[in-house]
Chain A
């Protein structure tokens, strides 16, 4: 039996092998190549604009992966995830700017890393609070309760109270070189890229591991049929809240990472439309697929920017085209969701799966 490629037909003889991430040396090779591209090729060949696009993709992945967990793996529809990103961002910013850290924490650049952990935890707690109604309601009713997170957390608590801390009254300015990890100040697109990449990998690995564990199986059982899951002895409420907690934590990390990309933060950074955008990412990428989240994020950021770059050469002839682009972009977002829902309901991840299968069986694919 070939050890480089999987044979056609029988794939696995042990459960452990079936669940292994890198099942053959060929797949290991592919993944190593991917890591080389991510860690060596992109950062050193991309310019500032391309890096900022990568950072936006990373931020979108971190935001959407929690939504994927809730919608795709646990069946809990959410439309308030931007609020948990806001909790993460504000917790982290407040801790950096206002908290009296011991001198060694600041000197050794530990304040920001510590703030990320605390921010993740805080966002997780808030997510659980707004996940509590999921014990009693589902479907459209749950959508409405999760939307409340936006209004209560962002529009009320953060806008009315948190934003006033420190007397700024509007935006928390984050002075340059405030955000440090160890001796390194996160002050360039490249450094932000590496940081976001690190967290994307960590979050993907953690979630992928959770999905193939007892917890993940419980989430999937709840998604497929919560009554059956209950009958099978799964504590439905506990696992639902656990899903909200993990999703909130990842959202908190996303928010904390976002502040390294900007110099001031205000509630405007976390509009309700961002929650909707994240759901769009999940739908286009593929519901119930981690790499679908990644594909969805890449698609949503790059396609929109690509469309824009395409119209730039026409500026001389149609000067208003760039100004009108946002309308096109909004329309393209809506249209993309409609097209995917009709023609590709399983999203880009399904297309990827088909592509892989084609090449796995090539040249005898059917």
Chain B
């Protein structure tokens, strides 16, 4: 009796699945795109908002007519920042015939890089690792924001220009930098070589790195170690949760340094979590914050309200805008490739991305340029500072102009 009941249950479930699934099998021609997101793993504190942004942006693209009339079908998976899972999901995307993939972290993006190069599938990642910007090595890796290494260099430079020059010790001693990040994590450690190089250029003294886990809730031992070095600036390479924990401990233990924070640790949640401890913290952002008065932001807000009304717009993070930025550049590249008559991965790259010169994405993103020899989207990095719980733009560092002789050699750092 019980067995029959179970049989009936399973047959019903499978029937319903296929009944509802059937229309999609006969649906109009759609262009498949895959998206790997982290909603449950190590970087989920910033990944959830990004994932929502991807899905909302794709809705917008479809409402705007898709790729020259062809709609996009999005296959979006949460892989929990588990790299083996990412590899299988990638294979599934290829099986589903995805034309491009909107990826997530540095770990999986770097691990998949040779495979996507072989398969010629554009991979637009949320990882802005500088290692992915050299087309000779990673021709199919693209992203819309300035890379981590440029961001780190620019933030340090902005602090040097705006803060150190007014410091009483300026000219008397070298400024001191220390880096606080999860040493084993590819995202956290990606710009370390660059920021240390920049520190050397600007004449910094660099202390020993402090290993802070992405899951850290107590960083007092690291702060104690930092206090011995007495840094003027601390570079935080982690995501928001652990950066907030570090800032709070630094504030409580009176470290007295300015905090410079990487892209994925610098958002509204930092202010909420760290409170006063976040005051004065500087960071590079790759786009505008949600609600800022920039082109296309009205659509970001409209679609966030429409598709995820349960999340108040004031709780949405810059991650949503970053996701939109990546979708917008992919959309433009696919439209260009389609117009050229070939929507293959190679064409999306060559006829799409690599034809973009000063393309204005909107969303507060600096105009992007990709070429066959350089996939860094831009040379200008915007640097913000938190004052009284608000983000204020303090500097725009044009790395390409200021270090014109070095800019090309920094490719792929």
Min Cβ gap B141→A in Å is 12
Determine if A323 is an interface residue (Cβ-Cβ < 8 Å).
yes
User: With a CB–CB cut-off of 8 A, which chain A residues contact B185?
Assistant: 170, 266, 268
Point out the residues of chain A lying under 8 angstroms from B201, CB to CB: none
- Are B91's CB and A48's CB within 8 A? yes
The 4 A-B residue pairs with the shortest CB-CB distance in the complex, in nearest-first order: A313-B21, A159-B184, A170-B189, A49-B95
Known contacts: A48-B94, A52-B88, A323-B39. The answer to whether A262 contacts B111 by CB under 8 A is yes
Decide yes or no whether A37 CB sits under 8 A from chain B. no
B84's partner among A189, A263, A269 (CB-CB below 8 A) is A269
6 new A-B contacts, CB < 8 A, other than A48-B91, A322-B78, are A52-B87, A169-B192, A264-B110, A268-B184, A316-B73, A323-B78
* CA gap between A159 and B209 in the complex, in Å: 13
On chain A, the residues within 8 Å of B107 by CB distance are: 171, 264, 266, 268
Q: Does A102 contact B (CB under 8 A)?
A: no
Is there a chain B Cβ closer than 8 Å to A327's Cβ?
yes
**Does A319 sit within 8 A of B, measured CB to CB?**
yes
A49-B95, A325-B78 given as contacts; is B110 within 8 A of A315 (CB)? no
CA of A218 to CA of B332 in the docked complex: distance in angstroms? Answer: 67
Which of B51, B84, B118 is the most central at the interface, judged by chain A CB atoms within 10 Å of its CB?
Answer: B84
Residue A80 at the chain B interface, CB threshold 8 Å: no
Q: Which residues of B contact A317 (CB under 8 A)?
A: 20
- Chain A residues with CB below 8 A from B73, complex form: 315-316
Would you call B184 and A267 a contact (CB within 8 A)?
yes
A176 at the interface (CB under 8 A from B): yes
B91–A323 touching, CB < 8 Å: no
Let me know if A10 is at the binding interface, CB within 8 A: no
Across-interface contacts of B94 in A (CB, < 8 A): 48-49
Tell yes or no: A56 within 8 A of B by CB: yes
* In contact, A319 and B22 (Cβ under 8 angstroms): no
Chain B residues engaging chain A, CB cutoff 8 angstroms = 14, 17-18, 20-25, 27, 37, 39-40, 42, 51, 55, 73-84, 87-88, 91-92, 94-96, 107, 110-115, 118, 183-186, 188-190, 192-193, 211
Name A274-321 residues within 8 Å CB distance of B.
Answer: 305, 308, 310-317, 319-320
Residues of B within 8 A of A98 (CB): none
> Which residues on A sit within 8 Å (CB–CB) of B112?
263
**Bound CA span A269–B55, Å:** 28
Rounded to whole angstroms, the CA-CA distance of A264 and B39 in the bound complex is: 23
Q: How far is it, in angstroms, between the C-alpha of A26 and the C-alpha of B296 when the chains are bound? A: 70
- Residue in A53, A163, A266, A319 whose CB lies within 8 Å of B76: A319
Chain B contacts for A312, CB-based, 8 A: 21, 75, 96
Q: Is A173 an interface residue (CB 8 A)?
A: yes
Cα distance A26–B85 in the bound complex, in angstroms? 39
A326 to B88 CA separation, bound complex (whole angstroms): 13
A169 to B27, CA, bound (A): 48
CB distance from A238 to the nearest CB of B (A): 35
Is the CB–CB distance between A326 and B78 below 8 Å?
yes
Q: List 19 A-B contacts (CB under 8 A).
A: A49-B94, A160-B183, A160-B184, A169-B193, A171-B110, A171-B186, A262-B111, A263-B110, A267-B184, A268-B83, A269-B83, A269-B84, A305-B88, A312-B21, A315-B74, A316-B23, A316-B24, A319-B55, A330-B40
- List residues 39-78 of chain A with CB under 8 A from any CB of chain B: 47-49, 52-53, 56, 59
State in angstroms the CA–CA spacing of A266 and B189 once bound together: 12
Q: Which residues of the other chain, B, contact A49 by a CB distance below 8 angstroms? A: 88, 91-92, 94-95
How many angstroms between the C-alpha atoms of A315 and B33 in the bound complex? 13
Q: Are A262 and B23 in contact (CB under 8 A)?
A: no
Residues of B within 8 A of A170 (CB): 183-186, 188-190
- Whether A169 pairs with B189 at a CB distance below 8 angstroms is yes
Known: A48-B94, A268-B185, A324-B78. A313 touches B25 (CB 8 A): yes
